[in-house]
Amino acid sequence: MGRYEEVFQKSIQDARGFWGAAAEKISWYRKWDNVLDDTNPPFYRWFPGGELNTCYNALDRHVEGGRADQAALIYDSPVTNTIRKFTYRELLDQVSHFAGALRKLGVEKGDTVIIYMPMIPQAVVAMLACARLGATHSVVFGGFAPHELAIRIDDARPKVIISASGAVEVKRLIEYKPMLDKAIELASHKPSKCVIFQRPMIKADLMKGRDLDWDGLTADAGPAECVPVKATDPLYILYTSGTTGMPKGIVRDNGGHAVAMQWSMEHIYDTKPGDVYWAASDVGWVVGHSYIVYGPLLAGCTTVLYEGKSVGTPDPGAFWRVISQHGVKALFTAPTAFRAIKKEDPQGEYIKKYDLSGFKYLFLAGERLDPDTYHWAHNLLQRPVIDHWWQTETGWPITANCMGVERFPIKPGSSTKPVPGFNVKILDTDGAVLGPNQEGLVAIKLPLPPGTLPTLWQADERFLQSYMKMFPGYYFTSDGGYRDEDGYTFVMGRVDDVINVAGHRLSTGAMEEVIARHPAVAECAVIGAADSLKGQLPLGFVVLKAGVDTDNNKIKEELVRMVRGQIGPIACFRESCVVARLPKTRSGKILRGIMRKIADGHEYRMPSTIDDPATLGEIEDALKGMGYAKKG
């Protein structure tokens, strides 16, 4: 039996023993009463009775243990021409004082705080300060429009919102404060205070009585000590797109999360204390939470916070420069970033300018890694290119080639094997387990390991409906795929209406809700079509109300503005088409799955339940007009 098989079987057959041993790597104020409480499935709880503080484990214990002068955070911002390093001591000082400032505003254990910030060190400080006080933070990606932020304000009901005056996108300045003001205006819940970090290039106007300047607030704030919390208390809420317009608030607990993050850094990423680890993502996404902030710091590593792009800041050599300059051992990013580099520098000329001798691994996730991108990256780097698969809900990888356990040969298109703790099965629609090379629905046998979602924020029933009721005893991933005869997992994509745009999960249902508000639109459908750069792009189809006498191009331009305004530019909604009718079943269900297959040039079967087969031909013509529906 190989090392991987030994570790994996231990994690499944003796989960309590396995994770109890892993939890010894974390500092606890009080040890747990039980490793796993399984008395109320599927609401499992890890380490009940245990007490800890995540910020203490990420900062204080490293300062006390001899790492005070090691770099904890490297802020690298090509868009502002800034590089700044923070030692563990310096980062702890900033976090403890900002926690003291929040405490002056009345923030305490059990409160919620929304963080709406760009990729700056203050975003990390704000997250850790909340954790220090036992407050639950909810980071909202800075690219989201006021409407989306307002939804999250009403659901999380924050006592305080922390934001910044704005962001720098390559050479464009984006003001955050007007979006924040509009969101608060739209929201029913009003925060008591907003803390605004003023960036030098963008000055925000502060509202008297509500808004406070970050620097002024922290100038006379004393440091706050860590507040012990229960292992089962929430550390953060992170909203992810659901199949409706209402996002789902993924809850992450303190205890299981800390244990899983610590374990994953060593065993999946082969990253040890003192190593430099870089996740080129955003703190607004789960990758940013897990592997920019918490994972590397819990493990005593140096983490890189990068405010830039893979190309254009200033050139396709941007990633190579960061790796070389800061001695990065492992890089984690989305395939989209490498497709962009490949497009701009197909021969890899820029890499020749940099010394990458200390670089060991490239990890890719967030969307399916297509074989072409894998081969290009592998041939260029001559290092392991690791495709691994996970979700906002799980918080850390479900399947991976675990570099710190046992390295397996790579099969392009596969994310290799289940990570210890994740008992992955391929099921048919009746819930029967399928054999090798039989494509079906990807599910994970319960209980899920530590660090995964215990429920949704104040929505237990939605948690059950979204993940647990489809296949009792399993967590349903909403992805399809198969496992081959060697146990390698191949995840083929979503089976619901959530699409993956440049590694970001976005709801086509939410886009449809926006489009349907246009006064000329009678009905609509949005699908995700395959895109060589972004992974998927949304395409809209609209049926106009009878008697509408408006130029179609004007309507399309208005729809783009509406989606951009309500969801944000991150939706990348640019293409739509006016059609006479949408293909439906006789019961009225729109055939979005078949529309996707037509867009991607895949073969499809005419469903027996279709109301009018001619509608599919009309959709195919419309897609061809947009440059899609080409046979592979």
* pLDDT one-digit tens code per residue, 270-309: 999 999 999 999 999 999 999 999 999 999 999 999 999 9
Q: Which residue's entry shows tokens 């006498």?
A: 549
The two tokens of residue 550 are: 């408006």
For residues 119 and 210, membership in a common domain is answered with yes
For residues 469 and 544, membership in a common domain is answered with no
Question: Is the dihedral angle over the CA atoms 227, 231, 233, 236 positive or is it negative?
Answer: positive
Give every CB contact of residue 382 below 8 A, 6+ residues apart in sequence: none
Count the neighbouring beta carbons within 10 Å of the beta carbon of residue 377. 20
Question: Is the dihedral angle over the CA atoms 621, 622, 625, 629 positive or is it negative?
Answer: negative
For residues 518 and 435, membership in a common domain is answered with no
Confidence label for 631 from pLDDT (cuts 50, 70 and 90): low
Whether 447 contacts 38, CB under 8 Å: yes
pLDDT, tens digit, for every residue of 506-520?
Answer: 777 778 878 888 988
Q: What is the CATH number of the domain that holds 409?
A: 3.40.50.12780
Average pLDDT of the segment spanning 157-182? 95
Q: Which of 204-213, 383-392, 419-428, 542-551 has the lowest mean pLDDT?
A: 542-551
For residues 239 and 287, membership in a common domain is answered with yes
pLDDT, tens digit, for every residue of 476-525?
Answer: 999 888 999 999 999 877 777 667 787 777 777 778 878 888 988 878 88
Q: Is 458 inside a domain boundary?
A: yes
Q: Is 356 inside a domain boundary?
A: no
Q: What is the CATH number of the domain that holds 563?
A: 3.30.300.30
Whether 245 contacts 68, CB under 8 Å: no
Asked if residue 605 has pLDDT above 90, the reply is no
Q: CA-CA distances (angstroms) from residue 114 to 1, 58, 85, 119, 153?
A: 48, 21, 26, 15, 7
Q: At what angle do helices 88-104 and 121-133 cross, to 10 degrees?
A: 60
For residues 155 and 93, membership in a common domain is answered with yes
Asked if residue 533 has pLDDT above 90, the reply is no
Q: Which of 55, 35, 68 is nearest to 125 (CA)?
A: 55
SS (H, E, C) 115-170: EECCCCHHHHHHHHHHHHHCCEEEECCCCCCHHHHHHHHHHHCCCEEEEECEEEEC
Residues 592-602 as b/e (b if ≥16 CB within 10 A, e otherwise) read bebbbbbbbee
pLDDT, tens digit, for every residue of 379-435?
Answer: 999 999 999 999 999 999 999 999 999 999 999 989 999 999 999 999 988 899 999
Q: Is 222 inside a domain boundary?
A: yes
The pLDDT score that the predictor gives to residue 107 is 98
Q: Is 376 inside a domain boundary?
A: no
- Higher pLDDT among residues 620 and 197, named by residue: 197
Asked if residue 608 has pLDDT above 60, the reply is no
What pTM was estimated for this model as a whole? 0.86
Cα–Cα distance between 226 and 203 in angstroms, integer?
A: 33
* Percent over 90 (pLDDT), the chain: 70
For residues 158 and 282, membership in a common domain is answered with yes
H helices within 486-613, ranges in order?
508-515, 552-566, 592-599
Task: Name the domain count of the chain.
Answer: 2
Strands 504-507 and 521-531: unpaired
Q: Is 353 inside a domain boundary?
A: no
Cα–Cα distance between 156 and 249 in angstroms, integer?
A: 8
Residue count of the chain: 632
Asked if residue 372 has pLDDT above 90, the reply is no
For residues 172 and 279, membership in a common domain is answered with yes
Whether 536 contacts 500, CB under 8 Å: yes
Q: Which of 431, 403, 435, 427 is nearest to 417 (CA)?
A: 403
The two tokens of residue 238 are: 């992170």
- Higher pLDDT among residues 114 and 586, named by residue: 114
Q: Which of 605, 521, 505, 513 is nearest to 566 (CA)?
A: 513
Cα–Cα distance between 504 and 535 in angstroms, integer?
A: 10
Confidence label for 632 from pLDDT (cuts 50, 70 and 90): very low
Asked if residue 60 has pLDDT above 70, the reply is yes
For residues 597 and 451, membership in a common domain is answered with no
The pLDDT score that the predictor gives to residue 366 is 84
Strands 160-164 and 193-197: parallel
Q: Is 592 inside a domain boundary?
A: yes
pLDDT, tens digit, for every residue of 89-116?
Answer: 999 999 999 999 999 999 999 999 999 9
Q: Is 342 inside a domain boundary?
A: no
Average pLDDT of the segment spanning 182-207? 97
For residues 396 and 517, membership in a common domain is answered with no
Q: What amino acid is encoded at 605 in this protein?
A: R
Domain ends where: 411, 445, 477? Answer: 477
- The H or E element that residue 479 is part of is strand 474-483
Domain that holds residue 512: 498-625
The pLDDT score that the predictor gives to residue 266 is 98
Count the neighbouring beta carbons within 10 Å of the beta carbon of residue 502. 21
- The H or E element that residue 9 is part of is helix 3-13
Asked if residue 36 has pLDDT above 80, the reply is yes
Q: Is 75 inside a domain boundary?
A: yes
For residues 70 and 99, membership in a common domain is answered with yes
Confidence label for 240 from pLDDT (cuts 50, 70 and 90): confident
Asked if residue 243 has pLDDT above 60, the reply is no
For residues 236 and 178, membership in a common domain is answered with yes
Cα–Cα distance between 124 and 116 in angstroms, integer?
A: 11
The two tokens of residue 419 are: 């990570």
Asked if residue 356 has pLDDT above 50, the reply is yes
Average pLDDT of the segment spanning 236-252? 83
Cα–Cα distance between 133 and 126 in angstroms, integer?
A: 11
For residues 12 and 115, membership in a common domain is answered with yes
Domain ends where: 429, 446, 477? Answer: 477
Confidence label for 610 from pLDDT (cuts 50, 70 and 90): confident
Q: What is the mean pLDDT of the chain?
A: 92
Domain ends where: 415, 448, 477? Answer: 477
Strands 423-427 and 440-445: antiparallel
